[in-house]
Amino acid sequence: MKKLLAIVFLFAVFNTIAQTSKIVDEIVAVVGENIVLKSELETEYAQAKTQMDFYKGDLKCEILNQLIIQKLYLHKGDVDSVYATADRVDAEVDRRIKYYAQQIGGEAKLEQYLGKSIAEYKDMMKTKIEEQMITQQVQQALVADVKVSPTDVRKFFYDLPKDSLPDFEQEVEVAQIVMSPKPNQYAKDYALEKITKIRAELLKGMYSFDFAAKSQSDDKLTAVNGGELGYFSRGQMVSAFERLAFKLKEDSISEIIETEFGYHVLQLIDRKGEKVNVRHILVKPLIVNSDFAKLFKQMIGIIDDIKENKLTLCLAASLHSSDAYTKDNCGFFTDATTGSQQVPVSSLDEDVLSKIAKMKVGEYTTPEKYMTYDRTESYRFLYLKKIVPKHKANLKDDYQKIQTLALEKKKEESTKKWVEEYKTGVYVWIDDKYRNCDELNGWKGLSN
């Protein structure tokens, strides 16, 4: 269901882009040397309508107000020489394109839906991404020194009207350990033999790298694009793969390398400074039933060792778990908002929910087959540490969440104060069509 909602939202964004691209552009506001275009306002408004139907005022006016504030941050960024490097912008653009393509079924389908090439869409995105990065840096700098003391947290809580205290849904502390089976030596030898043959045929020119990747690579996400990964910088790939990628000459076929994913052959497409774009073919050693049986037995042993205090859950997660999101937090899921390992049940996927519904506190599940985000068939087990029933907010059970709310409120007040002070020294012009918006009253009298 969550994936379906993500795709629906993605389509809404693309539809908004398609609609606003037809708007005849005009300037609706100026902040210093930064402008707000009608197309920008309409794009943000179209997206906000689906998420802010609760807003009682003029939503378009409020969106314009927020865009003017964003341009004020950009003005501050110009003054303070805040910038986003081209590499960072390109990396973020590539990351988003890759995500969109995965959601919609590949770059070809993405291009078809957008009605333009990936390169054209990237060019459209770059300025927006750059402005978002600069704005974020300015905002972070403005509130970097804002802190809340325990006294601030208590005051914030006791100042809340009793009838408006938030209700928190049921929460749990739950951990997981995810492990992938290791291939046996016979499977590794066969995979190495297969990719050696592919490489030899590539060197003889029997077919193109693009064709070989599409027909024989086990990396199905990149195979549809002829094995192309897109531009990446140092630190974004596993070390052996990255070292080889940055050594390659254009169009050359690499030696075979082994990584945790299997055996690879690479071809350099292009290099731009400290970024490279390569194709690769991956051959994964075949995992057989005996490998899964061996892994299952190993994980049962890990659970027994934890129960007998021969091993801590934290150490087991650190040593054995392959899940990057939980292993460094002793295997526990965390609340993305507060960082707490006490998480709302609604934030967990349906499989985890169905499992913990049958568990008692302190129990471990039997290891079961599990498909990771990169489609690797693995095993995982869960541990349920704590259940917090649905309840009205209180300092004892919810201190960390209330602390986060208090800090956000203090940051918001600090930022609002900065806007009120800083805007008096900046030229602001707003199109007469929006001058009567109540949401824009705070900007009146700043034009000259």
Q: Which residues contact 213 (CB under 8 A, 6 or more apart)?
A: 222, 223, 226, 227, 279, 280, 281
| Reported confidence tier of residue 5, pLDDT bands at 50, 70, 90 | very low
Percent of the chain with pLDDT over 70: 94
Q: Which two tokens stand for residue 315?
A: 């150490």
Cβ–Cβ under 8 Å, residues 175 and 333: yes
Mean pLDDT, the chain, whole residue set: 88
What pLDDT score was predicted for residue 431?
A: 93
User: E strands of 317-397, at which residues?
Assistant: 343-344, 368-371, 377-388, 391-392
- Average of per-residue pLDDT across 228-250: 87
How crowded is residue 215: how many other Cβ atoms within 10 Å of its Cβ? 11
| All domains of the chain in start order, with CATH | 2-81+143-147+408-443 (no CATH), 167-181+288-392 (3.10.50.40), 185-283 (3.10.50.40)
Q: Which of 25-34, 104-113, 269-278 has the lowest mean pLDDT?
A: 104-113
- Average of per-residue pLDDT across 182-207: 94
What pLDDT score was predicted for residue 20?
A: 46
Q: d(Cα 235, Cα 233) in Å, to the nearest integer? A: 6
Altogether, the residues listed in the chain come to a count of 448
* 3-state DSSP helix/strand/coil % of the chain, to nearest 5: 55, 15, 30
The distance from CA 368 to its chain's CA centroid, rounded to whole angstroms, is 27
- Average of per-residue pLDDT across 100-105: 79
| Reported confidence tier of residue 446, pLDDT bands at 50, 70, 90 | low
| Reported confidence tier of residue 1, pLDDT bands at 50, 70, 90 | very low
What pLDDT score was predicted for residue 107?
A: 78
Q: Which residues contact 309 (CB under 8 A, 6 or more apart)?
A: none
| Reported confidence tier of residue 10, pLDDT bands at 50, 70, 90 | very low
| Reported confidence tier of residue 8, pLDDT bands at 50, 70, 90 | very low
Task: Report phi then psi at 76, rounded to 5.
Answer: -60, -40
| Reported confidence tier of residue 24, pLDDT bands at 50, 70, 90 | low
Of the candidates 233, 235, 213, the residue with the CA atom closest to the CA atom of residue 224: 213
Regarding pTM above 0.85, the answer is no
What pLDDT score was predicted for residue 132?
A: 93
DSSP 347: G
What pLDDT score was predicted for residue 212?
A: 94
User: E strands of 14-155, at which residues?
Assistant: 27-31, 34-37
Q: Which two tokens stand for residue 198?
A: 């592919």
- Average of per-residue pLDDT across 407-435: 93
